[in-house]
Structure 1
Amino acid sequence: MQTIRNIYCVGRNYKLHAAELGNEVPTAPMLFGKPTHALVEANGQEIELPGNRGELHYEAELVIHIARPFAEGAKLEDIVDKMALGIDFTLRDVQSELKKKGYPWMLAKGFPNSAVVTAFRPFPGLQACLETDFTLVKNGEQAQRGNIGDVIFDLMTIIRYTNEHFGLDQGDIIYTGTPAGVAATKNGDHFSFLWGSENWGEFTARLV
């Protein structure tokens, strides 16, 4: 996989997902990060994930790759050159305990292989993204289906906010939020990522 610099993630960016977890809908993008050790490409292999720290939830997302630094007035297609589909894996029980204590989420979000991603493809432009759903298929059945048009904060809002608060440059990637349908992962679950009807990648979860 190409060199990735920073991994940013947007939490609660779909209203139905926020509702299913009993969370308030945010009024500004809710950003967190993952270390680069979290990143792994889905190319048909088994991926090891923690199976002894409570429920492990999958969260399918559209992932964008940043081509150049943000500049006010630039178009989305000037800043984003590639995209992929991915999963932000979350140790939900661990996250719930961290929330109760007011602690950061890193232990629940940043473990190795917690940022699964397909190979990146050329960014087709915003209109093509609005016209195409992405789907996570688990064991042959649809688990999640989303469209970037349903987000609370659109891609340019996310990019501008990320740049303002953390900086943004070539090689950074952003997980843009997950639609409703997150659930626990079991050992041996097989996941496939669909862009429209096209399979972009797959893997099997091995809980250890």
Structure 2
Amino acid sequence: MSQPNMIPTPPAILLPTTTGAAFPVRRVYCVGRNYAEHAREMGADPDREPPFFFSKPADALLPAGALSRGITEMPYPPATDDLHHEIELVAALRSGGSDILLEGALDHVWGYGVGLDMTRRDLQAIAKKQGRPWDMAKGFDHSAPIGLLVPTSDVDDPGRGAITLRVNGELRQQGDLSDMIWPLAETIVFLSRLVRLEAGDLIFTGTPSGVGAVKRGDLLEGSIAGIGGVTVRIGGR
């Protein structure tokens, strides 16, 4: 006889897709400093550093459609006065494994999306200075807005395409997916040597240069050519 749950079962994290079906999320992995110019603006040397990863909780995702009119509202988080935007390509995995080979690595991808890795930069700076984890700087509530996921069959080339972010109409971030230091296939290989990847995992693949602060009321419009976009309004606390 099965025992009843002590507490209600947490709801599944489901992301909308362009197919009309939902994509259930397992884990969210993020690649740090995966564009050379962004690495430099953060004070790092992209030519010497191997890829490194951090995670966000799955329920930190803020899916498209949280508001009407195609705009998702993100509450301004507590404990910060320096909230930064980072526009990223997101890969959604349909399968996984350990020690995945480079050949066929992209076969594990179900589709792609446009995401924002929102960061409490002041908390991150303190954590870096003290040699502490970044969790509270990166993994806070609603810290990962994401647009509709698009299946691979509808994406011509996930390895290249303009990636941009505008804040209140002003261009802040601009680059190309081909500028990645570690392309997605290599990222999957590296990550699968550290953890076993599974269906439902998301990989945020890093951001180009131009990251900066946003304030309450700002409108963020991110896009990746051939994949889609994400539109977010920064609300109050």
Query: With structure 2 as the length reference, what TM-score do the two structures score?
Result: 0.81
Asked if the contact 1:48/1:113 (under 8 Å) is kept, the reply is: yes
AA aligned to 2:52 is M
Q: In terms of mean alpha carbon deviation, does 26-35 or 129-138 score higher? A: 129-138
Flag structure 1 segments of 5+ consecutive residues without an equivalent: none
Distance (whole Å) between structure 1 residues aligned to residue 72 and residue 223 of structure 2: 17
Matches within 5 A, 1:141-152: 141-152=170-181
Distance (whole Å) between structure 2 residues aligned to residue 196 and residue 81 of structure 1: 18
Cα deviation for residue 197 of structure 1 reads 7.9
Cα deviation for residue 198 of structure 1 reads 7.6
Q: SS of 2:122's equivalent?
A: helix
Deviations 1:171-194 (CA, angstroms, capped at 9, x unpaired): 000000000000001111111222
Cα deviation for residue 141 of structure 1 reads 2.2
2:36 is aligned to 15
Q: In terms of mean alpha carbon deviation, does 173-182 or 26-35 score higher? A: 26-35
Matched, 1:69 2:96: yes
Max radius of gyration: which structure?
A: 2
Q: SS of 1:179's equivalent?
A: coil
1:56 is aligned to 83
Q: SS of 1:203's equivalent?
A: strand
Deviations 1:33-53 (CA, angstroms, capped at 9, x unpaired): 011121111331321131541
Flag structure 2 segments of 5+ consecutive residues without an equivalent: 1-14, 16-22, 66-70
Query: With structure 1 as the length reference, what TM-score do the two structures score?
Result: 0.91
| Structure with the bigger percentage of helix | 1
Judging changes above 3 Å, is the alpha-carbon distance between structure 1 residues 149 and 29 closer, same or farther for their aligned structure 2 residues?
same
Aligned length: 208
Aligned match for 1:136, one of 165, 179, 198: 165
The root-mean-square deviation of aligned C-alpha atoms, in Å, is 2.0
Deviations 1:98-125 (CA, angstroms, capped at 9, x unpaired): 1111111001000001111111001258
Deviations 1:131-174 (CA, angstroms, capped at 9, x unpaired): 42121121112221222211111111110111110211100000
Asked if the contact 2:60/2:143 (under 8 Å) is kept, the reply is: yes
Aligned match for 1:40, one of 38, 62, 67: 62
Q: In terms of mean alpha carbon deviation, does 65-74 or 195-204 score higher? A: 195-204
Distance (whole Å) between structure 2 residues aligned to residue 198 and residue 75 of structure 1: 21
Judging changes above 3 Å, is the alpha-carbon distance between structure 1 residues 79 and 96 closer, same or farther for their aligned structure 2 residues?
same
